[in-house]
Chains A and B, each alone.
Chain A
């Protein structure tokens, strides 16, 4: 298997504000989000980063998408360094998270064109890709409605389509089904499986066990910014369910400290 994403010993520390310091009961005024995290995702697989809230999943994905920088360590996406080849990394990934919003004022149709041009697509490429994706997700029904007037599910579909407008080889989704109704969530998970069939490499972060069991080939469990277990689904969970396996690992990790 060819590796497509490799994170090596990533460390990231956030400075806390005075208020956060009280909540976190931190005396140093720092929060270690990632504490030497390493993992490898292979080409053509769905890799799941599983962990509780605050484990550092989102931080890791943000570093891979070059939105933020690691304090130390290095990561490669599709052969490009996230610290030295930011634009090349961004060109080869489709990154989707709930925090990436679209401007309310514009229509899905306009935004698709705008982001297509930013990705360097030609007018013909944009047109054919738009036709294909808008039909696939039923966006053509509201393509001319301003984003501000769309429902959450519709917005999520538009965001999804725009994040993979350039047909990237690597797709990184942060909590792909969070906040979605069951129907839209199903559309998204089905689409992820379809992308996998097309040979795309996918990295998702989640705290939903069923999603991991349904989609992922390999899984990495993050607790407290560290990778505590990594491997294929069966290697990590053994004979148990993902949920039971996770709590065993969690107990061992927390008590072992």
Chain B
């Protein structure tokens, strides 16, 4: 036990006393992710964007289609224009000053009001002018077309959709939860993996490569103590690195998805956070053990990093799996890493199952013990330790 602590302390000293490692593993990931996501958010998502659309021959019916509902923000601002301004407005669209121009039939309200079906060639035309070189113009065009499509179908009047009743039943909480449930398990797994990648190959393959591990092996320390000490300290450092990435992600969330961190986090009961912590801990221990085993096989840090790439792809695919399907099957929760993704996804989408959680934790505990056992056996093997 003392030996394990001594090893852990040494691994921590090696890491925390090295400014470059601390900067590169703990601070940079968070900062980079924050900067990257914030920039990305500014480019792809602007929730306050309002499209300016000019209409010639304005109509009350048309305007009502774009009136914001209760609690919604206005996204399309309609401005009236005169027919003779048409060419001038087109120029403005090309210049990006106006997003779109809609030229309605002169008597649009009457046509809609009469409810008479007019066959195709004679049906009145609505002109929409836009410029595909401007993304906001394309967005405005798509929005107008989809609104008109739905309205036209309903004017045909076989049936109405969501006209007098109906609507989205999801509360904002659930909507936020659903969005997060898809994305977060993948992000968490990715961060944990890159955290492990940052430290494990260096600590195992690096020590082998430099011949410092043999110095440890001639002390009376048991191989198992050495392995446990290494795995535990690497798991802690990898987790800290992942936490740094999380902080970066959460801080950039409002920019990226337009959510609010406080709202998003308060959705979940406190117990869920403990469960999440447990799952993440077991995930990081499994990943760090797997990378350590690969690193022990490797002759150098470089080789270890190469070995870890296929594993990374596998782990990422498992992380993405929750976006495609979720399963409540107990048996699926015996599969390592996959079970972590499923439980995390269940937690985030507020569908937490205690049984699945316990199965995940217990089976992962067995896997971790098994992996530590394998690594201990490898450390006892001269073919592994002296294959450099």
Q: Is B212 an interface residue (CB 8 A)?
A: yes
- Per a CB cutoff under 8 Å, which of B10, B214, B382 touches A114? B10
A100 touches B220 (CB 8 A): no
Q: Please state if A67 and B220 are interface contacts (CB–CB under 8 Å).
A: no
Residue B179 CB within 8 A of the other chain:
no
CB of A105 within 8 A of CB of B6, answer no
Within 161-190 of A, Cβ neighbours of B (below 8 Å) are at 162-163
Per-position 1/0 for A73-95, Cβ under 8 A of B? 00000000000000110110101
Least Cβ–Cβ distance between A145 and chain B, in angstroms = 14
**A1 at interface, CB cutoff 8 A:** no
Encode contact with B along A48-73: 1 for CB under 8 Å, 0 otherwise.
00000000000000100111110000
* B220 lies within 8 A of A101 (CB): no
Interface window among A2-10, A22-30, A115-123: A115-123
Q: Which of A99, A117, A119 meets B214, CB within 8 Å?
A: A99
Q: Assuming the A-B contacts A69-B382, A106-B14, are A87 and B211 also in contact, with contact meaning beta carbons closer than 8 angstroms in the complex?
A: no
How many angstroms from the CA of A100 to the CA of B219 in the assembled complex? 11
A115, B211: Cα distance in complex, Å: 16
Contacts of A102 in B (CB 8 A): 212, 215
A118 near B212 with CB under 8 A, answer no
**What secondary structure prevails in chain B residues at the interface with A?**
helix
A67–B385 CA distance with the chains assembled, in angstroms: 9
Interface residue? B13 (CB, 8 A): yes
For residues 1 through 39 of chain B, which have their beta carbon under 8 Å from a beta carbon of chain A?
2-3, 6-7, 10, 13-14, 17-18
Partner of B217, one of A67, A69, A91: A67
Return the chain B residue nearest A89 by Cβ: B220
Residue of B nearest to A165 (CB): B219
A67 near B214 (CB under 8 angstroms)? yes
Look across to chain A and name the residue whose beta carbon is closest to the beta carbon of B5. Answer: A117
Q: Given A87-B220, A90-B220, A114-B6, are A68 and B382 also a contact pair (CB < 8 Å)?
A: yes
Query: Could you tell me the distance between the alpha carbons of A100 and B212 in the complex, rounded to whole angstroms?
Result: 6
Count chain A CB atoms within 10 A of each CB in B3, B10, B17, B218 and give the residue with the most. B218
Query: Are B222 and A87 in contact, CB atoms less than 8 angstroms apart?
Result: yes
Taking the closest CB of chain A, its distance from the CB of B207, in whole angstroms, is: 8
Q: In the bound complex, how far is the Cα of B212 from the Cα of A159, in angstroms?
A: 11
CB closest chain-A residue, reference B225 = A118
Bound Cα distance from A87 to B385, whole angstroms: 17
Contacts A68-B386, A101-B215, A104-B210 known; A118 to B14 CB distance under 8 Å? no
Number of interface residues of B (CB under 8 A): 25
Q: Flag whether B150 is at the interface (Cβ < 8 A).
A: no
Instruction: Indicate whether A120 sits within 8 Å of B220 (C-beta atoms), given known contacts A67-B382, A114-B10.
Output: yes
When the two chains form their complex, are residues A99 and B211 in contact, meaning their CB atoms are under 8 A apart?
yes
Contact A118-B221, Cβ < 8 Å, known A101-B210, A105-B18: yes
Docked complex Cα distance between A104 and B3 (Å): 21
- In this assembly, does B216 line the interface, its C-beta being within 8 Å of a C-beta of chain A? yes
Contacts of A119 in B (CB 8 A): 219-220
A99 and chain B: residue at smallest CB distance: B211
Contact B218 A101 (CB under 8 A): no
Does A194 reach chain B (CB closer than 8 Å)?
no
Interface contact A105-B14, CB-CB below 8 Å = yes
CB distance from B88 to the nearest CB of A (A): 71
| Complex Cα spacing A101 to B208, Å | 10
Residue A103 CB within 8 A of the other chain: yes
Residues on A with C-beta less than 8 A from B218 are 65-67, 90, 93, 95, 100, 163
Given contacts A67-B217, A90-B218, A119-B220, contact A101 B211 (CB under 8 A): yes
A191 at the interface (CB under 8 A from B): no
> How far apart are the CA atoms of A2 and B382 in the complex, in Å?
31
Give the chain A neighbours of B216 by CB distance below 8 A: 118
B13 touches A101 (CB 8 A): no
* Contact of A110 with B by CB under 8 A: yes
- 0 or 1 for each of B189-226: is its CB under 8 Å from A? (1 = yes): 00000000000000000010011101111111110000
Closest Cβ–Cβ distance, residue A106 to chain B (whole Å) = 7
What distance in Å separates the Cβ of A166 from its nearest Cβ neighbour in chain B?
A: 8
Asked if A110 and B13 make an inter-chain contact with CB atoms under 8 angstroms apart, the answer reads: yes
Minimum CB distance partner of A68 in chain B: B382
Q: CB-CB < 8 A to B210: which residues of A?
A: 101, 103-104
How distant is the Cα of A69 from the Cα of B220 in the complex, in angstroms? 16
User: Cβ of A162: which chain B residues have Cβ within 8 Å of it?
Assistant: 215
Give Cα distance in the complex from A193 to B144, angstroms.
96
The minimal Cβ–Cβ distance linking B67 to chain A, given in whole angstroms, is 67
Residues of A within 8 A of B386 (CB): 67-68
Give a binary string over A11-55; 1 marks a CB under 8 Å from any B CB, 0 the rest. Answer: 000000000000000000000000000000000000000000000
A234-253 vs B, Cβ < 8 Å mask (1 yes, 0 no): 00000000000000000000
Asked if B2 contacts A103 (CB within 8 A), the reply is: no
Determine the distance from Cα of A27 to Cα of B373 in the docked complex, in whole angstroms. 36
B382 touches A118 (CB 8 A): no
Contact, CB under 8 Å: A117 / B6? yes
5 chain-A/chain-B pairs, Cβ below 8 angstroms: A67-B214, A90-B220, A93-B218, A99-B211, A115-B219
Q: Which A residues lie at the B interface, using CB under 8 A?
A: 62, 65-69, 87-88, 90-91, 93, 95, 99-106, 110, 114-115, 117-120, 159, 162-163
Query: Which residues of B are at the interface with A, using a C-beta cutoff of 8 A?
Result: 2-3, 6-7, 10, 13-14, 17-18, 207, 210-212, 214-222, 382, 385-386
